[in-house]
């Protein structure tokens, strides 16, 4: 029965993950000093969750988390960027699953792969998908939305590169190996 | 730091009495219509209609004042940005140029640009009341049930419910962790250097994230122990039965959607052009 | 002939990450309709045993199983967790993790929803069950509006609605005030009688559970069952003492007085206890123990709260015009019912929340406007929920964190951390990740991390909840030692005996106001205060009355003096 449907753990991970995404997005974004550019720690978290729980969880955390954040704090949902969040979660999950972070190994090979994946996925998401959707849905001027997409994309790639990598390594460390704990 | 957020407001009104499914479907049709159309006549009609529903719902302006102010500021900034980036967007779209006055270079003010930006703003004014109303008149537990009824897999619907259930808890945790870290000597004030600020933020988000991961474990254990996911279907304690008003509302909503799309697209252009 | 419903046979379990098995050679049979209490030191494997019964081991926690465990004649290894969950209903140890629904009604209905029960039926069943636990008026309330005791009732209703055969409670009393705890125990008793369910309770508060009827008590130590007997037999034996589990106070007093407790005396309840033959003995002992001299000398005031008020949301004040003075070197208990505002008060003192009006002074200086960090230089605080404080992965790093931030030298840090880890009984685990600890062990990590900083004033929010007697004694004795060296200590607690034993002065809070501020003994002899703050006399008062002592309070103080002398020899 568990095989063809989602496991309970994934469901809970989506729910709690979305809630954490909302709170990080609202309270833990750090202003950089450059106008309109903040360090969105929530994307580092999204990348971690996608890596641990896979593409479906990643995509849904992005989708539900971002839509809820917009809805409860700002009263309006900016669908184009919500879709990008879902895209980022989905595809990081798809590619990073093979890193097998549960094994507890986080060597340079894993870290490099993780970062190539996140940078490539986010580049497509923010540099291409976001502006295209902005124009299609909201008919905003193209040069404005491309610039917005590039700024957001660069800052998110760097954020995930730094904070996401720290989270990744730290998480791998918490996966204690079999037969490793004994009183001293 | 007590940040207000939108949540269900208990009132006795026809809108509150509608089933969550109805409201969700209407909300989605409404957003679709508003997203696709740039036809000023349709937008104006939808705007008037949403104001009317707002009044019927007995939600007071002051209940949601804090987001409204935020939205207005956002719209103002967005309008300025659009003008700065693309002062001729309206001229391109409508194909004519009625200059009111010049500022400098390509920056002039045309009726077309004003009209284009008026339309963009109007679109927000159509979507926003609908979204706000949906959030404040639908009880969160009914929301998940509605998603499920509309065909969303019940497990995914339940994860939305979990998210809504845990947002306040996680917000509280976030505060407590921030406080206990400050007590250990981590400064969170804004006047620190960027690198330091990132480090400090990490000191808070790490425990938040890792305690949340543990929480996932506990909650999935608790849910498992109480039999979640053992059947293909599940029922919901808090759904509302469909009544006549629901069918009627859905019918009217569908009619509005069809008519507005027809008006928008029958001449092959999303924009209503009063200039030719 | 009674039928066994749970049967452990040579059962051994090892968590995947552990080297040693956590449960060793467990042999245990539980019969239908029995009520069993499981006690044992923190980390002895009680929760793990419970997880084996409800199926979380091995379905959720992975590890190696040996031997057999049969529930209702079926080998659990061969079942799946859903089948087990139809038979066993569990109320977990973690206080926040198990409330799943958005409202009370929804949470109670959760199991029914999963079973696909139709809405009209479901509404009726939820109503019936909620009436049983007296929550029918709160069905629409959300979690945040409930007090600790009410949450417990909802958890109970949520498992009962499924008509399970076995109810399993993991420390149901840990965060409840004394009166609510007593109520919870009678509620469990009542439900057991009405439905003839088999009940297993894991609890450190032995005496409180014995307040109801218990058929058998299982004592665990280091992953093994060291005793399995009726309460009367157990209390007459030395098992509890050697496993360092707190005996009921009246039993302890009788043993100190040299009375020989036998099963025939029915020692499980104070009111059934046959005491007549020993009355003279006890009175003689009472007269022989010396009264402690009163050494409460008043020093300079360190902390002063002046008319402070605070509220979380518009409406009622959570803390309402509250004032008190604390002198240097005092050790004070803050007590009161669930939701009275004790934790809030401690957060106001540390600056976690800002007072809306009133002033807070430290050493005469107004600190109302100071930041959390400035106050933290002088005031250390251990929060109620350990998960809110832990930020590092390894135990050692967590305890060292504050010292590192304050820029201490490496060797200094190491020696201080090692000392505090020893005091808190965590030294053997210093290189473990925190995630592999039991609940009580985690709580001790947070206490250690604050103790390491040597603050002037120390506030501890329920430091002994979920601790066993040995760790309780170690932590409290260390606090007492700090106190002798001049550290001022405020303790928030629901443990009446702790209040009597360690803190000369007690502040009682109800609805955000102080309703009493006097000596601990006086508080517990004032019936109106006891009533309005949900407190409870300890059984020592009852014992003193039964043997006809005029001033029960003196009996209590003399007991404490004697007890402390005896426990000193443990170290
Ligand atoms: N998930 C886990 N992984 C590895 N080891 C664990 C895990 N959970 C518990 N343990 C270990 O098993 C031992 C017993 O833990 P358990 O939670 O059963 O204790 P307990 O008797 O319930 O203690 P307490 O009274 O503090 O709750 C502990 O020493 C702990 O380190
Ligand atoms: N962050 C918060 N936001 C809103 N209300 C809160 C918050 N924290 C506590 N409360 C409410 O304030 C009241 C006092 O809570 P507090 O935690 O101080 O009680 P307490 O005396 O410590 O209770 P307990 O003995 O159960 O720990 C309660 O009614 C509680 O629901
Ligand atoms: Mg336990
Ligand atoms: Mg408290």
Q: What is the per-residue pLDDT across C161-211, written as a single tens digit (0 to 9) for each? A: 888 899 999 988 877 888 888 888 888 888 888 888 999 999 988 999 998
The residue among C100, C156, C351, C439 with the most chain B CBs within 10 A of its CB, best to mutate, is C100
Say yes or no: B65 contacts chain A, CB-CB below 8 A: no
Q: What is the DSSP letter of A73?
A: I
Does any domain span residue A1?
A: no
In this prediction, residues A94-119 reach a mean pLDDT of 88
Residue B1, pLDDT score: 40
The residue among A12, A71, A135 with the most chain B CBs within 10 A of its CB, best to mutate, is A12
Residue A1, pLDDT score: 35
In the beta sheet, which residues pair with residue C326? C303
Residue A178, pLDDT score: 63
Using a pLDDT cut of 70, give the percent of chain B over it: 96
Q: Can you tell me the distance from the alpha carbon of C427 to that of C419, in angstroms, rounded to the nearest whole number?
A: 9
Is residue C10 within a helix (H) or strand (E), and if so which, with residue range? strand C4-15
Q: Can you tell me the distance from the alpha carbon of C187 to that of C208, in angstroms, rounded to the nearest whole number?
A: 13
**Closest CB from C88, C103, C391 relative to B141:** C103
Q: Which residues of A touch B204 (CB under 8 A)?
A: 28
**Does the structure show a pLDDT above 80 at C145?**
no
Query: Taking the CA of residue B142 as centre, how many other CA atoms within 13 Å lie in the half-sphere pointing to its CB?
Result: 21
Distances (CA, A) of B266 to B44, B112, B269, B274, C518: 18, 22, 8, 16, 84
Q: Look at B225 and C90 and tell me if their CB atoms are within 8 Å.
A: yes
Between C293 and A151, the more confident residue is A151
Q: Which residues of C touch B217 (CB under 8 A)?
A: 60
Average pLDDT over chain C reads 88
pLDDT band at C78 (very low <50, low <70, confident <90, very high): confident
Between C377 and B254, the more confident residue is B254
* Nearest protein Cα to ligand 1, atom 2: C436
Distances (CA, A) of C485 to A79, C415, C456, C488, C567: 62, 19, 10, 9, 21
Does any domain span residue A2?
A: no
Of all atoms in ligand 2, which is nearest to the CA of residue C340? 21
Q: How many CB pairs under 8 A join A and C?
A: 34
In the beta sheet, which residues pair with residue B107? B104
Of all atoms in ligand 1, which is nearest to the CA of residue C204? 25
Q: What radius of gyration, in Å, describes the C-alpha atoms of chain C?
A: 24
Q: Look at B170 and A23 and tell me if their CB atoms are within 8 Å.
A: yes
Of C126, C49, C129, which Cα lies nearest the Cα of C93?
C49
Does any domain span residue A47?
A: yes
**Does the structure show a pLDDT above 80 at A76?**
no
Q: Which residues of B touch C15 (CB under 8 A)?
A: none
Lining residues, ligand 2, CB within 6 Å: B 172; C 148, 175, 312, 318, 336, 338-344, 384
Enclosing domain of residue A30? 8-174
Q: Look at A16 and B163 and tell me if their CB atoms are within 8 Å.
A: yes
In this prediction, residues A44-68 reach a mean pLDDT of 95
Q: Can you tell me the distance from the alpha carbon of A35 to that of A23, in angstroms, rounded to the nearest whole number?
A: 22
In the beta sheet, which residues pair with residue C202? C38, C170
Q: How many folded domains does chain A comprise?
A: 1
In this prediction, residues C380-398 reach a mean pLDDT of 84
Residue A6, pLDDT score: 82
Q: Angle at which helices B194-225 and A165-174 pack, to 10 degrees?
A: 40
Residue C195, pLDDT score: 83
Question: Which chain B residue shows the shortest CA-CA distance from A6?
Answer: B155
Lining residues, ligand 1, CB within 6 Å: C 15, 17-18, 22, 40, 42-48, 61, 93, 436-441, 466
**Does the structure show a pLDDT above 70 at C293?**
no
Token pair listed for C315: 């409406």
Q: How remote is the C-alpha of C40 from its chain's centroid?
A: 13
* Nearest protein Cα to ligand 1, atom 4: C436
Residue A107, pLDDT score: 86
Q: Look at B128 and A73 and tell me if their CB atoms are within 8 Å.
A: no
**Does the structure show a pLDDT above 70 at C488?**
yes
Does any domain span residue A184?
A: no
Please, is C276 exposed, middle or buried when counting C-beta atoms within 10 Å of its C-beta (0-12, 13-18, 19+)?
Answer: exposed
Between C341 and C133, the more confident residue is C341
* Span of A90-94, C388-392, C442-446 with lowest mean pLDDT: C388-392
Pocket test for ligand 2, best of C184, C318, C348, C499 (most atoms within 8 A of CB): C318
**Closest CB from B181, B222, B228 relative to C98:** B222
Q: How remote is the C-alpha of B215 from its chain's centroid?
A: 28
* Nearest protein Cα to ligand 2, atom 6: C312
How many residues does the structure list for chain C? 571
Q: The domain spanning residue A76 has which CATH number?
A: 1.10.1760.20
Does any domain span residue A3?
A: no
Q: What are the helix (H) ranges across C196-297?
A: 206-210, 231-236, 239-242, 249-256, 279-288
Q: Can you tell me the distance from the alpha carbon of C143 to that of C102, in angstroms, rounded to the nearest whole number?
A: 7
pLDDT band at A36 (very low <50, low <70, confident <90, very high): low
In this prediction, residues A116-125 reach a mean pLDDT of 96
Question: Which chain C residue shows the shortest CA-CA distance from B159?
Answer: C100
Tell me the shortest Cα–Cα distance from C540 to chain A, in angstroms: 39
**Closest CB from A12, A137, A141 relative to B220:** A12
Please, is C401 exposed, middle or buried when counting C-beta atoms within 10 Å of its C-beta (0-12, 13-18, 19+)?
Answer: buried
ipTM score of complex: 0.86
CB-based contact C383:B182 (threshold 8 Å): no
Q: Which residues of A touch B212 (CB under 8 A)?
A: 16-17, 19-20
The residue among C48, C71, C114 with the most chain B CBs within 10 A of its CB, best to mutate, is C114
Q: Look at B156 and A11 and tell me if their CB atoms are within 8 Å.
A: yes
Residue C345 CA to ligand 2 centre (angstroms): 10
Does any domain span residue A134?
A: yes
CB-based contact C175:C95 (threshold 8 Å): yes
Q: Can you tell me the distance from the alpha carbon of C31 to that of B214, in angstroms, rounded to the nearest whole number?
A: 35
Q: Can you tell me the distance from the alpha carbon of C460 to that of C489, in angstroms, rounded to the nearest whole number?
A: 8
In this prediction, residues C363-385 reach a mean pLDDT of 88
In this prediction, residues C56-85 reach a mean pLDDT of 89
pLDDT band at C1 (very low <50, low <70, confident <90, very high): low
* Nearest protein Cα to ligand 1, atom 6: C436
Q: What are the helix (H) ranges across A54-107?
A: 55-69, 79-96
Residue A5, pLDDT score: 61
pLDDT band at A3 (very low <50, low <70, confident <90, very high): very low
Does any domain span residue A149?
A: yes
Please tell me which chains touch C, using 3 or more CB pairs under 8 Å as the contact test: A, B
Query: Taking the CA of residue C196 as centre, how many other CA atoms within 13 Å lie in the half-sphere pointing to its CB?
Result: 4
**Does the structure show a pLDDT above 80 at B137?**
yes
**Does the structure show a pLDDT above 50 at A2?**
no
* Nearest protein Cα to ligand 2, atom 1: B172
Q: Can you tell me the distance from the alpha carbon of A139 to that of A153, in angstroms, rounded to the nearest whole number?
A: 20
Q: Is the peptide bond before C58 cis (omega within 30 degrees of 0)?
A: yes
In the beta sheet, which residues pair with residue C38? C202, C218
Q: Look at B235 and C406 and tell me if their CB atoms are within 8 Å.
A: no
Using a pLDDT cut of 90, give the percent of chain A over it: 57
Tell me the shortest Cα–Cα distance from C417 to chain A, in angstroms: 16
**Does the structure show a pLDDT above 90 at A20?**
yes
Residue C145 CA to ligand 2 centre (angstroms): 9
In this prediction, residues B120-144 reach a mean pLDDT of 87
CB-based contact C420:C444 (threshold 8 Å): no
pLDDT band at C298 (very low <50, low <70, confident <90, very high): low
Q: Look at B183 and C373 and tell me if their CB atoms are within 8 Å.
A: yes
SS (H, E, C) C157-168: HHHHCCCCCEEE
Q: Can you tell me the distance from the alpha carbon of C199 to that of C211, in angstroms, rounded to the nearest whole number?
A: 15
SS3 label, residue C91: strand
Is residue C65 within a helix (H) or strand (E), and if so which, with residue range? strand C63-71
**Does the structure show a pLDDT above 80 at B268?**
no
Please tell me which chains touch A, using 3 or more CB pairs under 8 Å as the contact test: B, C
In this prediction, residues B203-208 reach a mean pLDDT of 86
Of all atoms in ligand 2, which is nearest to the CA of residue C144? 31
Residue C104 CA to ligand 1 centre (angstroms): 30
Q: Look at C17 and A181 and tell me if their CB atoms are within 8 Å.
A: yes
Q: Residues 6 or more apart from C468 whose CB is under 8 A from it?
A: C40, C41, C42, C204, C244, C245, C246, C440
In this prediction, residues C370-377 reach a mean pLDDT of 87
Residue C96, pLDDT score: 67
Residue A90, pLDDT score: 97
Does any domain span residue A37?
A: yes
Q: Can you tell me the distance from the alpha carbon of A174 to that of B157, in angstroms, rounded to the nearest whole number?
A: 30
Residue C79, pLDDT score: 87
Of all atoms in ligand 2, which is nearest to the CA of residue C313? 4
pLDDT band at C339 (very low <50, low <70, confident <90, very high): confident
Q: Can you tell me the distance from the alpha carbon of B175 to that of A73, in angstroms, rounded to the nearest whole number?
A: 17
* Nearest protein Cα to ligand 2, atom 16: C341
> Burial letters for B1-11: b for 16+ Cβ neighbours within 10 Å, e otherwise?
eeeebbebeee
**Does the structure show a pLDDT above 80 at B185?**
no
């Amino acid at each position: 029965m568990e095989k063809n449907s989602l496991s309970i753990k994934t469901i809970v991970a989506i729910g709690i993950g979305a809630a954490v995404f909302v709170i990080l997005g609202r309270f833990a974004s750090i202003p950089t000093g450059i106008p309109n550019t903040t360090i969105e720690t929530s994307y580092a978290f999204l990348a971690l969750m996608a890596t641990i729980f896979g593409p479906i969880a990643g995509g849904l955390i992005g989708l539900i988390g971002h839509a809820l954040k917009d809805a409860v704090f700002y009263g309006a949902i900016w669908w184009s960027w919500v879709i990008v969040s879902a895209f980022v979660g989905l595809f990081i999950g798809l590619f990073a699953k093979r890193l097998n972070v549960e094994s507890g190994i986080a060597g340079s090979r894993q870290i490099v792969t993780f970062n190539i994946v996140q940078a490539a996925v986010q580049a497509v998401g923010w540099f291409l998908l976001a502006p295209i959707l902005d124009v299609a849905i909201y008919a905003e001027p193209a040069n404005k939305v491309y610039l917005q997409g590039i700024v957001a994309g660069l800052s998110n790639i760097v954020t995930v590169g730094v904070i996401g990598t720290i989270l990744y390594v730290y998480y791998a460390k918490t996966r204690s190996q079999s037969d490793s704990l004994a009183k001293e | 730091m007590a940040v207000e957020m939108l949540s269900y407001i208990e009132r006795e009104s026809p809108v509150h009495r509608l089933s969550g499914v109805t409201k969700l479907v209407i909300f989605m049709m409404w957003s679709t219509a508003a997203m696709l159309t740039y036809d000023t006549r349709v937008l104006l009609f939808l705007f008037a209609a949403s104001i009317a529903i707002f009044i019927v719902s007995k939600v007071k302006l002051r209940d949601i004042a804090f987001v409204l102010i935020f939205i207005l500021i956002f719209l103002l900034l967005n309008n300025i940005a659009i003008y700065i980036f693309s002062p001729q967007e309206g001229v391109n779209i409508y194909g004519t140029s009625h200059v009111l006055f010049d500022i400098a270079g390509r920056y002039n003010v045309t009726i077309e640009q004003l009209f284009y930006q008026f339309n963009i703003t109007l679109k927000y004014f159509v979507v926003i009341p609908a979204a706000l109303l949906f959030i404040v008149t639908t009880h969160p537990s009914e929301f998940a049930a509605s998603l499920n009824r509309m065909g969303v897999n019940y497990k995914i619907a339940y994860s939305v419910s979990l998210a809504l259930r845990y947002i306040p808890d996680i917000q509280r945790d976030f505060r407590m962790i921030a406080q206990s870290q400050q007590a250990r000597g981590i400064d969170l004030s804004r006047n620190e250097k960027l690198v330091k600020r990132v480090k400090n933020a990490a000191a808070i988000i790490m425990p938040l994230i890792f305690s949340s991961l543990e929480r996932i474990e506990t909650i999935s254990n608790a849910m498992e122990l109480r039999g979640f996911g053992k059947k293909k279907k599940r029922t919901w304690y808090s759904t509302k039965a469909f009544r006549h008003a629901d069918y009627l509302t859905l019918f009217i909503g569908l009619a509005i959607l069809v008519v507005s799309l027809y008006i928008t697209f029958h001449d092959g252009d999303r924009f209503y052009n009063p200039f030719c | 002939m009674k039928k066994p419903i749970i049967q452990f046979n040579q059962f051994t379990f090892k968590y995947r990450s552990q080297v040693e098995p956590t449960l060793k050679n467990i042999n245990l049979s539980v019969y239908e309709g029995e009520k069993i209490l499981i006690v044992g030191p923190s980390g002895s494997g009680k929760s793990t045993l419970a997880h084996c019964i409800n199926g979380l081991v091995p379905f959720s926690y992975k590890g190696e199983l040996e031997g057999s465990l049969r529930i209702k004649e079926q080998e659990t290894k061969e079942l799946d967790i859903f089948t087990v969950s139809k038979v066993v209903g569990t109320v977990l140890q973690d206080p926040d993790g198990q409330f799943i629904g958005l409202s009370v009604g929804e949470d109670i209905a959760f199991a029914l929803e999963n079973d696909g029960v139709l809405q009209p039926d479901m509404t009726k069943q939820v109503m019936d069950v909620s009436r049983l636990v007296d929550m029918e008026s709160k069905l629409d309330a959300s979690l945040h509006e409930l007090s600790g005791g009410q949450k417990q009732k909802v958890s109970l209703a949520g498992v009962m609605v499924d008509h399970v055969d076995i109810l399993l409670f993991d420390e149901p009393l840990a965060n409840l005030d004394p009166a609510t705890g007593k109520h919870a125990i009678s509620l469990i008793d009542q439900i057991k009688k009405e439905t003839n369910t088999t009940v297993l309770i894991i609890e450190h508060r032995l005496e409180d559970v014995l307040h109801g009827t218990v058929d058998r008590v299982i004592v665990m130590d280091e992953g093994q069952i060291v005793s399995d007997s009726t309460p009367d037999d157990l209390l007459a034996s030395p098992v509890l003492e050697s496993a360092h589990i707190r005996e009921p106070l009246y039993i302890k007093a009788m043993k100190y007085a040299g009375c020989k407790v036998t099963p025939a005396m029915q020692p499980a309840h104070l009111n059934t206890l046959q005491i007549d033959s020993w009355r003279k003995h006890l009175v003689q002992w009472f007269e022989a123990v010396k009264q402690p001299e009163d050494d409460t000398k008043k020093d300079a005031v360190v902390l002063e709260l002046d008319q402070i008020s605070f509220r979380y949301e518009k409406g009622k004040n959570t803390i309402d015009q509250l004032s008190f003075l604390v002198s240097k070197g005092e050790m004070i208990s803050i007590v009161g019912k669930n939701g009275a505002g004790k934790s809030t008060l401690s957060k106001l003192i540390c600056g976690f929340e800002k007072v809306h009006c009133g002033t807070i002074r430290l050493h005469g200086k107004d600190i109302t406007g100071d930041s959390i960090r400035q106050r933290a230089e002088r005031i250390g605080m251990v929060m109620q929920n350990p998960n809110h404080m832990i930020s590092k992965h390894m135990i050692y790093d967590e305890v060292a964190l504050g010292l590192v931030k304050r820029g201490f030298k490496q060797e200094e840090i190491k020696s201080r951390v090692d000392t505090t880890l020893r005091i808190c009984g965590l030294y053997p685990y210093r290189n473990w990740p925190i995630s592999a600890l039991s609940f009580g062990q985690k709580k001790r990590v947070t206490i250690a991390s604050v103790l390491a900083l040597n603050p002037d004033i120390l506030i501890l929010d329920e430091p002994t909840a979920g601790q066993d007697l040995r760790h309780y004694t170690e932590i409290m004795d260390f606090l007492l030692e700090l106190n002798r060296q001049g550290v001022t200590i405020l303790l928030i607690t629901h443990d009446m005996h702790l209040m009597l034993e360690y803190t000369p002065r007690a502040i009682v809070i109800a609805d955000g106001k102080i309703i009493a501020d006097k000596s601990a003994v006086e508080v517990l002899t004032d019936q109106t205060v006891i009533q309005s703050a949900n407190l409870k006399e300890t059984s020592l008062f009852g014992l003193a009355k039964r043997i006809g002592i005029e001033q029960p309070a003196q009996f209590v103080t003399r007991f404490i003096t004697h007890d402390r002398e005896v426990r000193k020899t443990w170290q």
